[in-house]
Chain A
Amino acid sequence: MTAANRADATAAAVVDSPVSPQVLYPQSTGLDGFERVTAAWAKPRPFGFFTELNNNHIGILYIATGFLFFLGAGVLALLMRIQLAYPGNTFLSAATYNQFFTMHGTVMMFLFAVPIVEAFAVLLLPSMLGARDMPFPRLSALGYWAYAIGGALVFSSLFFKIAPDGGWFMYPPLTGPRFSPGINTDVWVLGLGFVEIAAVAAAVELIVGILKTRAPGMTLGKMPIFAWYMLVTAAMIMIGMPAVIAADILLELERAFGMPFYDAARGGDAILWQHLFWLFGHPEVYIIFLPAAGMVSMMLPSFARTPLVGYAWVALAAIAVGFLSFGLWVHHMFTTGLPLLSLSFFSAASSAIAIPMGIQVFAWIATLWEGKPVLRVPMLFILGFLFIFTIGGLTGVMVAAVPYDWQVHDTHFVVAHFHYVLIGGMVFPIFAALYYWMPVMTGRMLSERLGRWTFWLMFIGFNAAFLPMHVTGLLGMPRRIYTYPGDLGWNRLNLVTSVFSFVFAAGVLVFLFDFVRHLRSRPQTGLNPWEAPSLEWKAGQAAHGFRSLMPIFSRYPGWEQKGLKDDELAGRGYLPDAPTVEREALVTSPITAEPEQIMRMPGPGWTAFLAAVATAIAFAAMTIKLPAVGWIAGFIAAALYLYWLWSLDPALPREPADAGRGIALPLYRNGKQSVGWWGMTVLLISDAVVAASFAFAYLFFWTIRPGIWPPDGSQISGFREPIGLAALIIVAYFFFEAADRFNQRDRRLTATCLIVVALAAGAALALGWIWLDGLGIDSTRHAYGAAVWTLLGYVAVHIAIGAAMALWCLVRSALGMIDPWRCLTLRICLLWWRFTAPATVLTLILIVGFPFVVS
């Protein structure tokens, strides 16, 4: 039985279910059905720019915005290279230079590299997966607008001379309140914290989209390799970003409230920041590289005219890199005085990651070997990527050796190394992707001739600028100095680097000229100018992507599924119609991609845009010390989010609806098969990482001063209150479970259970506050107190949200919006309690039981 037949057979079983006596909303394969699909997905006017949620619209905006930030950060780099061209230059002041190098790194990493790879995924993945959109389009739109507005605010700080100036990794104590009393650091912490949350939102979207909205029949082994890469990348973002968000929270708590997490004089330790930052920062390199590698793996078959060699090997290499990259973070900390054996573990892990990296490179070379490569502009950039990235990898192996790293740490050698890795491993593939997928975005090809100019200018400019920089570093030039004396032997090397950085920039300029020109003068290319095998080339530029969703049973459907486009256009796939003129998509199972549900998608609206604007204003106002404005904007944002949440989980008929191809599917799922359940589960994994980061901070402080733990006057005596607190939370949790059970039989008991949950949670908050206040632990006197308050505060926020969820469900239940069938809201809130209850108990054990044990 083929995958397509199996998918149909399984879905047919849904129709045969005794709960499905009739089929709603028959689908038409005729022109009328097509017209309804087009109408449902049409871009709204006149404010479609702000209100449209479709991935084609958001994806292109995302890419364009990311590229603008790339240009902005690039200009900063050029200005810095002018400053460093000659010794003793006074083009930039030291303070301005500090802001420029900080913003260059920050913008490139947080506002260009991560967002643009997510942007490509948002644009391309739905059609690559044979779907119509991502599962949470409003979340995509919120993520985009939060990123665009938050990023613009952070970047604009440069014009007011309040830009961050502590380096892109913002090490305390330099960035602490003592040495950075201005708001420059707050701009970084709050502004980028906001952007990081947007990145996490996009990652949730990508994970659930890849697992739950693939075309029927597209098993995990059949999905495009880019989807594997993005699945791993999004999972890495979900684990890595929360660590730096936690570090940001601790730094802001220190700066705003004097809680001394990084202040050694009061029991803190600046090394904690380095651990948390690099726990994110090193995987960040692979978060950037893996999507680029995924794009390369998609493009190579098109130009080699042959399938990717070793698909399964490449997929497993992506998984391996995703995991192993989290075992490397200390290799950024080789000079911090950690025990030699500890450093060696990370040095060994740094070498081990060469295995999966090697698998990928050999798979690409084998693909070229196997096929008949055509040397078009994207291929040039791919070859440039292989050349440059390999050199970056080699110098990476050098700095992974502890003694070598001690020699070159914080010199221009390291600057040269990571530019080889990042520009080679990410910027060149992104340019290849821009040339390759431009017809998907604009319907037109960029110029082949100008593309070659772009490539050679960038390639020569890059290598001539950064290769000498290795020598500059070996000669001892430290990074982050705004000028240097003329008698150290660095002059000529710096001049060469500066001159060729402008050659590199000239290549980017040619690209921009080509882009503007092609919009007007280049002809339309048609659907698949590269004769590529993947599905995005079948989708066209229409917002709905596909007229109907075809079953997919090949990794290269464009080459191997004959007549696919004709069948799709003729409506012979799933959902060829939009009977209610609403946007619909197909939900499939995560492994075998069997159809499970017809999902109604949200249409265009202002909520996401306005919520992002209000939240950005709230963050910005708090940063520049305008609390009144901040609170007002915060309340407006909260109101918008509540309005949004209220509109979720709408009433839908119980009867299955026609899905096309002679099968029917439910319009609603209330458990593990729903995308909402998956979204919440993935989000809670990130939440757990934040909690774990705070717990790590608490334990870290203990390891550095074990003899005085807890410090004098901070001992917690007695277990009565903590046990009572834990008991209340466990009661609340069990009553939430009971509410879900009773919801199937007796709604009055459900309401009673939810009231008990809210009361127990409220009582726990009150008891916790009285207990903690009575302990007299000062959060500003010692890092121990700061860690205790932070851990308990984080738990308290969860309990408060859990109580609010209970009341939310109570109101919805009273209004008839929760019943035995329509109960997804209840079950998603239950997931929250399934996390909050054990997290609370573990936190209490850590705070109360741990000191008792170690003392």
Chain B
Amino acid sequence: MESVETGPPSEGLSRLLDVAFGFFVWAAHFLIVYIATALACALGPLAASDGGGRAALLTALVLVTLAAAAIVILHALRRYRQQRELSDHGFPLSVTIGCDAIALVAIIWQLFPILLVPACA
């Protein structure tokens, strides 16, 4: 007996969520910097540390931020190359790249506190 579904290929959840990929990276980045700061400051290694330890934390946060920004930019470029020729994908492509752009700003924006506010103050 046959149970294979007929009709058009399934449009899955992952294809839907890809539009908001940039924001998933933003969310991951946000959680990483927040939790890393909370743990480093609350659990002690930096609370009693000298300036070197705190500078190392801030450097790590900057690197994580730059990595997150790079991932979002690469995603936007990849989707642009894949979809620019497809006439049907104007709207999804615009929204995907737009989401990546806003997420990029929101990620880079976190550099301000990282660079301006002292760790564990």
Q: CB-CB < 8 A to A61: which residues of B? A: none
Select which of A10, A220, A349, A597 is within 8 A of B30 by beta carbon: A349
Q: CB-CB < 8 A to B30: which residues of A? A: 327, 345, 349
Q: CB-CB < 8 A to A316: which residues of B? A: 94-95, 98-99, 102
Output the least CB separation between B109 and chain A (Å): 5
When C-beta atoms are compared, the residue in chain A nearest to B113 turns out to be A344
- Asked whether A211 and B16 contact (CB < 8 A) given A327-B30, A345-B30, A821-B1, the answer is yes
Structural contact, B92 and A220, CB atoms closer than 8 A: yes
Tell me, yes or no, whether B72 is within 8 Å of chain A by CB: no
Cα(A820)–Cα(B1), bound, Å: 7
What count of chain A residues pass the 8 Å CB interface test?
59
Select which of B37, B95, B118 is within 8 A of A319 by beta carbon: B95
Within 8 A of A (CB), among B31-83: 33-34, 37-39, 41-44
Q: CB-CB < 8 A to B7: which residues of A? A: 10-11, 13-14, 17, 594, 596-597, 665-666, 673
Select which of A19, A341, A823 is within 8 A of B121 by beta carbon: A341
Structural contact, A591 and B16, CB atoms closer than 8 A: yes
Q: CB-CB < 8 A to B92: which residues of A? A: 220-221, 591
Tell me, yes or no, whether A780 is within 8 Å of chain B by CB: no
Output the least CB separation between A553 and chain B (Å): 12
Within 8 A of A (CB), among B103-118: 103, 105-106, 109-110, 112-114, 116-118
When C-beta atoms are compared, the residue in chain A nearest to B3 turns out to be A820
Q: CB-CB < 8 A to A324: which residues of B? A: 23, 26, 102, 106
Tell me, yes or no, whether A590 is within 8 Å of chain B by CB: yes
When C-beta atoms are compared, the residue in chain B nearest to A20 turns out to be B6
Select which of A17, A19, A592 is within 8 A of B11 by beta carbon: A592
Output the least CB separation between A352 and chain B (Å): 4
Cα(A312)–Cα(B99), bound, Å: 11
Tell me, yes or no, whether A672 is within 8 Å of chain B by CB: yes
What count of chain B residues pass the 8 Å CB interface test?
51
Q: CB-CB < 8 A to A665: which residues of B? A: 7
Q: CB-CB < 8 A to A17: which residues of B? A: 6-7
Cα(A313)–Cα(B6), bound, Å: 36
Cα(A826)–Cα(B65), bound, Å: 44
Structural contact, B19 and A319, CB atoms closer than 8 A: yes
- Asked whether A341 and B91 contact (CB < 8 A) given A319-B99, A706-B43, the answer is no
Structural contact, A219 and B109, CB atoms closer than 8 A: no
Output the least CB separation between A396 and chain B (Å): 17
When C-beta atoms are compared, the residue in chain A nearest to B46 turns out to be A339
Cα(A338)–Cα(B30), bound, Å: 16
Tell me, yes or no, whether B13 is within 8 Å of chain A by CB: yes
Select which of A220, A355, A672, A819 is within 8 A of B102 by beta carbon: A355
Structural contact, A320 and B3, CB atoms closer than 8 A: no
Structural contact, B11 and A344, CB atoms closer than 8 A: no
- Per-residue CB contact flags for chain A residues 701-744 toward chain B (1 = under 8 Å, else 0) read 00110100000000000000000000000000000000000011
- Per-residue CB contact flags for chain A residues 19-44 toward chain B (1 = under 8 Å, else 0) read 11000000000000000000000000
- Asked whether A703 and B8 contact (CB < 8 A) given A340-B118, A341-B113, A348-B112, the answer is no
Output the least CB separation between A831 and chain B (Å): 12
Output the least CB separation between A608 and chain B (Å): 28
Structural contact, A323 and B23, CB atoms closer than 8 A: yes
Structural contact, A596 and B8, CB atoms closer than 8 A: yes
Structural contact, B8 and A10, CB atoms closer than 8 A: yes
Output the least CB separation between B91 and chain A (Å): 3
- Asked whether A352 and B109 contact (CB < 8 A) given A312-B91, A319-B23, A592-B11, the answer is yes
Tell me, yes or no, whether A670 is within 8 Å of chain B by CB: yes
Output the least CB separation between B100 and chain A (Å): 10
Structural contact, B120 and A323, CB atoms closer than 8 A: no
Structural contact, B11 and A591, CB atoms closer than 8 A: yes
Structural contact, A319 and B39, CB atoms closer than 8 A: no
When C-beta atoms are compared, the residue in chain A nearest to B4 turns out to be A19
Q: CB-CB < 8 A to B15: which residues of A? A: 591
When C-beta atoms are compared, the residue in chain A nearest to B6 turns out to be A17
- Asked whether A672 and B37 contact (CB < 8 A) given A323-B23, A352-B109, the answer is no
Structural contact, B95 and A312, CB atoms closer than 8 A: yes
Within 8 A of B (CB), among A336-360: 338-342, 344-345, 347-349, 351-352, 355-356
Structural contact, B120 and A341, CB atoms closer than 8 A: yes
Structural contact, A345 and B33, CB atoms closer than 8 A: yes
Q: CB-CB < 8 A to A672: which residues of B? A: 10, 12
Output the least CB separation between B6 and chain A (Å): 4
Tell me, yes or no, whether B85 is within 8 Å of chain A by CB: no
Structural contact, B5 and A312, CB atoms closer than 8 A: no
Structural contact, A313 and B98, CB atoms closer than 8 A: yes
When C-beta atoms are compared, the residue in chain A nearest to B58 turns out to be A341
Contacts A/B (CB < 8 Å), 9 sampled: A319-B20, A327-B26, A327-B30, A339-B120, A340-B117, A589-B8, A590-B16, A591-B16, A744-B3
The 3 A-B residue pairs with the shortest CB-CB distance, nearest first, are A221-B91, A344-B113, A323-B23
Given contacts A221-B90, A320-B99, 4 further A-B contacts (CB under 8 A): A211-B16, A323-B26, A348-B113, A349-B109
